[in-house]
Amino acid sequence: MAAPKAGAPSYGAVSSTLFAQLQNECECQICFQLFNEPVTAPCGHSYCRSCLARSYDHSDKCPMCRTSLPPLSYFRWQRANRALTAVIEAALPDLAAERAAAVKEEELALLEHVPIFVCTSAWPGIKSYLHIFEPRYRLMIRRALETPDKSFGMVLPVRNGGADAVNEFGTMLRITSCQMLDDGRLILETIGTHRFRLVERSVVDGYNVGKIERVDDVGARPPITGNQELTTHQLMQICLDFIKTLRAGSAPWVIERLNRTVGEIPTNAHDFTWFAAEVFPVEDHVKVALLQITSVRERLRLIVFWIEQIRSSWWYSRGCTIM
C-alpha cells in the first residue's frame, strides 16, 4: 500500500490509498504541485494554466505525450476544468487552500518589483511598438498583463558594459494593446508614462526586475535676465527649425509614418523634448542622457548641442532625413 503524503490524516473520510491516488492525479506534471486553475488539452492531459503557457515558450507539444497542441490563445480563453477543480476543493480542501495561498504569495512578491525589459530607448508620452519573442520576456509580459496597471520598465543596455550592464535610468511603459500570435509571440503597443531610476536589480525566471524611484522634473528656473543664454522658447524654436529641415528632405511616406507613430509635434516644451528624443538622428546610447535631466530647459540645451554637432558633421551638408 502506498504511503500517504503529508496532510493525509486530516481527511478522515478518505482512505490513505485513495488520498495518495487523488493527490497524484491532481498534480501538474510541469510544476509537480497541486493544480492551480487547471486546463485540459485535447489530448486529455491537464496542467496549471500558467504552467502550460510557460511550456509554450519552448514547444507547442504536450509535455507528457508530445502531441501537437492548438495555439496558446485556445487555452487563454478556455475555462478551468470544473470537474478537476470540484474534486480538488471537495477532497483536498486543506491542500487547495495551501496552494492558493502560495500562488497569492508569489503574485505579491512579483508586485514588489518592477519587471525590466532590457532592449531599447523609450520616452514619456511616446508610443513604442514591440515584438516579444524571447521566452523570458513572453513570460514577463504575460505577468505584466495580469497586473492592474499593465506596466513594465524599459532600459537600454550599456554599450560595451558587458552582458549584464544596463542603464540606471529608464521609462515605464503601459501596455495599451496586445496581440498574441498562435506560437505565443506577442505584438505590443505601449506608451511611456514616466521616467525612473533603477535603485536595485535582480533576476526572476530569466528576466530583470528591480526597485525603482520615479523621476520627475523640478520647478522651473528663475527667468533669465542676461543675454548670454537663450530662453526656453528660443531653444525650442531652434529645435523646431531643425526638425522642419529634416522633414523637408524626407519622403512624404516617411512623414506620414512618423505622424502615425509619434504624432504631431507637441506645442509645450516638456512634451516636445521627448518628441525630439524619439525623432532626432542621434544614437540611443547618447540620447538616453535626457532621462536623468530634471529640467525642461536643460534638456532643450542638450538637444540644441546635438543639433550644432549634427550641423558640423560632413554628412549633414549632403542631406539629412528622418528615417
Query: For the chain, what is the HEC assignment?
Result: CCCCCCCHHHCCCCCHHHHHHHHHHCECCCCCCECCCEEECCCCCEEEHHHHHHHHCCCCECCCCCCECCCHHHHHCCCCCHHHHHHHHHHCHHHHHHHHHHHHHHHHHHHCCEEEEECCCCCECCEEEEEECCHHHHHHHHHHHCCCCCEEEEECECCCCCCCCECCEEEEEEEEEEEECCCCCEEEEEEEEEEEEEEEEEEECCEEEEEEEEECCCCCCCCCCCCCCCCHHHHHHHHHHHHHHHHHCCCHHHHHHHHHHHCCCCCCHHHHHHHHHHHCCCCHHHHHHHHHCCCHHHHHHHHHHHHHHHHCCCCHHHCCCCC
CATH 2.30.130.40 intervals, the chain: 113-215
CATH 1.20.58.1480 intervals, the chain: 232-318
What does each of the 323 residues of the chain score in pLDDT, given as a tens digit? Answer: 445 555 554 545 557 777 788 888 899 999 999 999 999 999 999 999 999 988 988 889 999 999 999 988 888 888 999 999 999 999 899 999 999 999 988 888 777 899 999 999 999 999 999 999 999 999 999 999 988 899 999 999 998 777 788 999 999 999 999 999 888 899 999 999 999 999 999 999 999 999 999 999 986 555 555 545 789 999 999 999 988 887 776 656 556 666 666 778 899 999 999 999 998 888 999 999 999 999 999 999 999 999 998 888 755 555 555 44
Hey, which CATH number is domain 232-318, 1.20.58.1480, 3.40.50.2020, 3.40.50.740, 3.30.470.10? 1.20.58.1480
CATH for 113-215 is 2.30.130.40
CATH 3.30.40.10 intervals, the chain: 8-110
Q: Which fold has domain 8-110?
A: Herpes Virus-1 (3.30.40)
